[in-house]
Amino acid sequence: MTQDFATLNAHAMEVAAAYDDLSTKRIGRPWTNQEVALGFVGDVGDLAKIVMTLEGTRRIDGIGLEQLEHELCDAIWSCLVLADRFGVDIGEAFPRQMQDLVRHVSELRADEAGTDSATPAGENRGMSDDSTASTDDGESFGVEPGTYRHFKGARYEVIGVGRHSETEEPYVFYRTTTTPPTSWVRPLAMFVEPVSRDGYEGPRFARIDDDAD
C-alpha cells in the first residue's frame, strides 16, 4: 500500500534512531552529518553502477530491479535523515523547489527559443488581453508602465505591477505589442534580474522610449 510522506518520513526516522543506537554501541557515537553525507555518496555510486548494468553498459551478476529499488530507498533515506538533522521540512520544501525548477526551466527554454515564458495572463489569471493591472497602493517596485525590450529583441508593453493574493509576491503584468496582443504575468524578481547569455550581459527587460525604433 502506498504511504503518505509523513508516514514514510516517520519510518525513516525510526530506522535512523536504530542506526544511531547501533553506531553508539560500536564506535561510541552516532554517525556525524558528514558521515551520513558520505554514506549517501556511496549509495549514489552503487545506484549508478546498477543503472549502468540495467542499461547494458556494465555487467554485474545478480543485478535487477530489486537491487535498484534497494539503492533508491537507501539514497532517499539518507536525504531524509540529513533534512531532519538540519531542520529542513522536506514535505514543505520539495513542492516549492519543484515549482521553482519548473519556472526556471520554462524561463531557460523560452530564452533559448527567443520567446517569452511568463504565464499568459489571459489564459491562467482570468485577465483579457485588453485588461490593465496595477497595485491598489500605487507600488511600481521600480518597473513603471511603458515599453520594454526583452533581451532577445521582442517588445512588450508593461501595464503595471500587482501582488499575488495569497503570497503577496509582486508580479509584472505586460503584453506583446502585436495585434491582437497577448497578456503575460511574470514574477517581478524574474522580470528585473540580469541575464548573461550568448555574449549578452544586461537586464532581461530594458525600458525604451515608446517611439524608439
Q: What is the pLDDT of residues 14-55, one digit of tens each?
A: 999 999 999 999 999 999 999 999 999 999 999 999 999 999
| pTM for the full predicted model | 0.54
CB atoms within 10 A of CB 162: 19
Q: Vertex 85, ends 81 and 91: CA angle to 5°?
A: 65
Calculate mean pLDDT across residues 181-195: 90
pLDDT of residue 40: 93
Q: Vertex 87, ends 86 and 92: CA angle to 5°?
A: 125
Q: At what angle do helices 65-85 and 33-54 cross, to 10 degrees?
A: 160
Question: What is the 8-class DSSP label of residue 149?
Answer: E
The rounded percent of the chain whose pLDDT value lies above 70 is 82
Contact 184, 106 (CB under 8 A): no
Q: With left for phi above 0 and alpha for psi between -120 and 50, is residue 154 left, alpha or beta?
A: beta
The 10s digit of each residue's pLDDT in 79-91 is: 999 999 999 999 8
Residue with cell 511600481: 140
* CA–CA distance, 167 with 208 (Å, rounded to integer): 31
Of 65 and 1, which is predicted with more confidence? 65
The x, y and z cell numbers of residue 60, run together, are 554485474
HSE, CB side, 13 Å, CA atoms: give it for residue 46.
17
Q: At what angle do helices 90-113 and 5-27 cross, to 10 degrees?
A: 110
